[in-house]
Homo-oligomer: A and B are copies of this chain.
Amino acid sequence: MLFRRSTALARLSLVALLGATLFVSQAHTQGPASATWLDPYRETATSLIQASTSDDFAWERLAELTDTFGHRLSGSANLEQAIAWAVETMASDGLEHVRAEPVMVPRWVRGAEHAEFVSAPQQALTILGLGGSIGTPPEGIEGDVLMVNSFTELRARATDVAGKIVLFNAPFTTYRDSVTYRTDGARVASQFGAVAALVRSVGPTGLRTPHTGSLHYEPDAPPIPAAAVAAEDADRIARLQARGTQVRVRLTMGARAEPDVASANVVGEIRGRERPDEVVLLGGHLDSWDVGAGASDDAVGCIVTWEAARLMISLGIRPRRTVRIVLWTNEENGLRGATEYAARYGADAADHVLAIESDSGVFAPAKVGFSGGAAARSLVRDIGTLLTPLGLGQIGGGGGGADIAPIARAGRVPMLAYLGDPGRYFSIHHTSADTVDRIAPEEVSKAAAALAVIAYVAAEMPDRLPR
């Protein structure tokens, strides 16, 4: 299924001409579910869906990416090799102006890490250092564990914290509510004199599965080492303490920050045939954490957005506006790719008509979310009716994403996201179990088809989506 560029370009020209003719003769009537304004796009939407769902091309590419390069932490050789592969492969697909736009990214190195009970039994805790954490001295940090279920409880025990290893054992509710202990736990514990922080993994109880992710230090307190512990380990410590056993732990982490290194956003386009300066932006992030294969977070987001463009090219579609694919670098621990893009394209921010992100996996049941003004929302909901054959429900709220947020903020750009089932996504999020084998090929094809249809209509409709 290799795409031959010359044929594709010839088809592009033909379809561009045809498209232009079509749209002159069609009224742009906006309306609800059976919106007639969509009629010019129905046949192409059907073709995109058929093309995407007729084979496992997208999944195979996803597997090739994750199998070949593995996890892709910012600053790693794996990531840079994946970037080079993406540039080459994107160009061979027929995307235009394919380039690697330089971004300097942080390089955080995990090093060896270990935690164990100091008293008998000599036994390890299952931990995973948090991204960005400082390390410990080589001999580790030893301390009695002070377990709290919330920041409120920590503050109530403020006078007990000095010299302790604070364990935040907040039950996992939703990612949004629970992640604050991962991002802010170390900082807050340090304010009260803790020597290290452990955080119950942000995710449902797995199979002794720790979840990493970034933390955030502030100058208001000295940085202290921090690691996630598996839910089972947190539960065990809670039971031991309930029985009156003081738990003492030694934590050893070799984590360290090294100087920034060069990385890049991978950018490729289908240049718009009439309004090339107006851009429908789509992307996922190519970097990942250094465990698992970063398959759902977020190789699949890269693949399904890129695939949206490849499908258009394979069907000879060149829409009115430019479709731009960006495979972001450094989403996980710096957001430098998104920041750099917003800086580079800040002057053109308002020319972005829609920004699309896929960074929540594609696990069924999936949905599409939108954030923007009421007029745009109404139109996007209309477009969503074209996705009925894919079994996706009505487009609701929840558009947005970390990588598109900076440019969207700058240009007041409506945002749209493909949202996989959060239960399945967060069970493997930032873990060694984020691998391709658990992603179904048909879910990848479905996501690619949905994004292709949405991007196509947004790039083709005569008037740009209102802000």
Interface set of A (CB-CB < 8 Å, partner B)? 63-64, 67-71, 77-78, 81, 117, 120-123, 126, 205-209, 231-232, 235-236, 239-240, 243, 245, 292-293, 427-428, 431-433, 435-438
The one of B69, B207, B436 in contact with A431, judged by C-beta atoms closer than 8 angstroms, is B207
A207 touching B205, Cβ below 8 Å:
no
Question: Known contacts being A77-B121, A120-B77, A239-B63, is A435 close to B69, with CB within 8 Å?
Answer: no
Cα-based distance from A42 to B51 in the complex (angstroms) = 68
Cα-based distance from A78 to B121 in the complex (angstroms) = 6
The 8 tightest CB contacts between A and B, nearest first, are A207-B433, A70-B123, A70-B121, A208-B432, A78-B121, A208-B433, A232-B435, A207-B207
Chain B contacts for A436, CB-based, 8 A:
236
19 contacting pairs across A/B (C-beta < 8 A): A63-B239, A67-B239, A67-B243, A68-B245, A70-B123, A71-B123, A77-B120, A77-B121, A77-B122, A78-B122, A126-B432, A205-B437, A207-B433, A208-B292, A208-B432, A232-B433, A232-B435, A232-B437, A236-B436
Cα-based distance from A236 to B437 in the complex (angstroms) = 8
B433 touching A240, Cβ below 8 Å:
no
Number of copies: 2
Cα-based distance from A64 to B239 in the complex (angstroms) = 8
Chain B contacts for A435, CB-based, 8 A:
208, 232, 235-236
The one of B68, B117, B121 in contact with A121, judged by C-beta atoms closer than 8 angstroms, is B68
Interface centre among A231, A428, A432 (most CB of B within 10 A): A432
Cα-based distance from A69 to B119 in the complex (angstroms) = 11
Whole-angstrom distance between the Cβ of A308 and the nearest chain B Cβ: 24
Cα-based distance from A126 to B435 in the complex (angstroms) = 12
Closest residue of chain B to A71 (Cβ to Cβ) is: B123
Closest residue of chain B to A432 (Cβ to Cβ) is: B208
Cα-based distance from A431 to B209 in the complex (angstroms) = 12
The one of B67, B77, B120, B236 in contact with A81, judged by C-beta atoms closer than 8 angstroms, is B120
Cα-based distance from A321 to B71 in the complex (angstroms) = 62
Whole-angstrom distance between the Cβ of A154 and the nearest chain B Cβ: 24
Closest residue of chain B to A435 (Cβ to Cβ) is: B232
Whole-angstrom distance between the Cβ of A65 and the nearest chain B Cβ: 11
Interface centre among A117, A231, A235 (most CB of B within 10 A): A235
Question: Known contacts being A437-B232, A437-B235, is A123 close to B78, with CB within 8 Å?
Answer: yes
Question: Known contacts being A235-B437, A236-B435, A432-B126, is A243 close to B64, with CB within 8 Å?
Answer: yes
Cα-based distance from A18 to B192 in the complex (angstroms) = 65
Cα-based distance from A223 to B119 in the complex (angstroms) = 36
Cα-based distance from A208 to B81 in the complex (angstroms) = 24
Whole-angstrom distance between the Cβ of A137 and the nearest chain B Cβ: 21
Chain B contacts for A427, CB-based, 8 A:
207
18 further interface pairs, Cβ-Cβ under 8 Å (given A67-B236, A68-B240, A77-B122)? A67-B239, A77-B121, A78-B121, A81-B121, A126-B432, A205-B437, A207-B207, A207-B209, A207-B427, A207-B428, A207-B431, A207-B433, A208-B209, A208-B432, A209-B433, A231-B437, A232-B437, A235-B437
A121 touching B69, Cβ below 8 Å:
yes
Cα-based distance from A290 to B413 in the complex (angstroms) = 55
Whole-angstrom distance between the Cβ of A239 and the nearest chain B Cβ: 5
